[in-house]
Copies of this chain bind each other. A is one copy, B any other.
Amino acid sequence: MMPSAGRYWPALDQALREAITLAPQAPGFQRLLEYPMGWVDADGKATEESGGKRIRPLLLLSCAEAAGGSWQTALPAAAAVELLHNFSLIHDDIEDASPLRHGRMALWKQWGVASAINAGDAMFALSYAALTRLRGCVPDDLSLRALDIFCQANLDLTRGQHLDIRFETQPDVTADEYLTMIEGKTASLLAVSAELGALIGSGNDVIASHYRAFGFNLGMAFQIRDDILGIWGDPTLTGKSAATDILARKKSLPVLYGLERSPALRELYARESFGEAETREAVRLLDSLDARGHAASFERNYHQRALDALHAARPAEPAATELRGLLDALLGRIA
């Protein structure tokens, strides 16, 4: 749970629910949007769940406050980044053929690919509709700058996804290419969340750029931490079985490091069938190269840059303490 979650949660939840009601009325349409938000089950019955951690909008609201503004003013933008995140999950699950999301059937698995593509498109449009609600709350010029920035993040997201799809069939992916991919796929949305919050909170582009750097580096560190957990994570803590990413032959950062250095690992990854034995052998090879230590050094590097950027931003309390707590919460899942 994000440190600031308690304070912002009720207003954020309400803003999200209002944003979804902007969807045009049509039989069965609302459910396709409420289900991925986690509010209803497949039969349309209300759930007790919170529907995800809402990291991006909570980050945005914290940054708005830390930059000296009112977090309430930033609620339309907070709703927008969460809706954009959910749009991308809906489409990613189709593109990756992932049947599950948050422990439930993915939208496409539940209602078919056609409906899921279209519901994702609606969620996409709703994210812009939410953002246009800044109009009247902040100066017009600021609304337009926010839209520009949001659009750019959105494009970065599609670039990251393009590279991710491409990597599946690309024989030699370099670590640099991988970092470019996660910049788009993970870091861009955290970067824009922090930037938009700070821009709305301060109206100052320089301050906003520090927060952007904070969010970006936080996102990079977060993704690399996730890569490490996908191989060496403790299943009782992560909720995944150990080495799931290896079993799926995911080309994450530690794996790419290993593939560049170990012909044996390359041979293993090229095999037609890949099961438990191959997974164990791959982890052994990665361990012998200290691929984990290599990835951890990248993570520390991005983590430090995030701290430096936050320091440069001179955030106000109590949001400043919460943002540092967020870094710890996101990056401290294993010792």
Give A contacts to B, CB under 8 Å. Answer: 22-29, 32, 91, 94-96, 113-115, 117-122, 124-126, 128-129, 132, 135, 140-141, 143-144, 147-148, 151-152, 154-159, 161-163, 165-166, 180, 184
Contact = CB atoms under 8 A, between A and B. Distances in A.
A125 B143 contact: no
A213 to B, nearest CB: 19
Chain A residues touching B, majority SS: helix
B122 A165 contact: no
Nearest to A122: B158
A125 B27 contact: no
Contacts of A25: 159
Number of copies: 2
B113 A22 contact: no
B91 A162 contact: no
9 contacts: A22-B155, A24-B159, A26-B163, A113-B113, A120-B121, A121-B157, A124-B124, A125-B151, A140-B143
A121 B119 CA distance: 12
Quick one: which of A24, A95, A152 has the most chain B CB within 10 A?
Answer: A24
A32 B28 CA distance: 32
Given A28-B162, A113-B113, A117-B91, A144 B135 contact: yes
A115 B147 contact: no
B151 A132 contact: yes
Contacts of A126: 155
Nearest to A149: B132
Contact of A158 (B114, B125, B141, B155): B125
Given A121-B124, A135-B148, A114 B95 contact: yes
A305 to B, nearest CB: 22
A154 B128 contact: yes
Contacts of A151: 125, 128-129, 132
Given A91-B118, A118-B161, A23 B132 contact: no
Quick one: which of A22, A165, A184 has the most chain B CB within 10 A?
Answer: A165
B147 A128 contact: yes
A83 to B, nearest CB: 12
Contacts of A129: 151-152, 155
A120 to B, nearest CB: 8
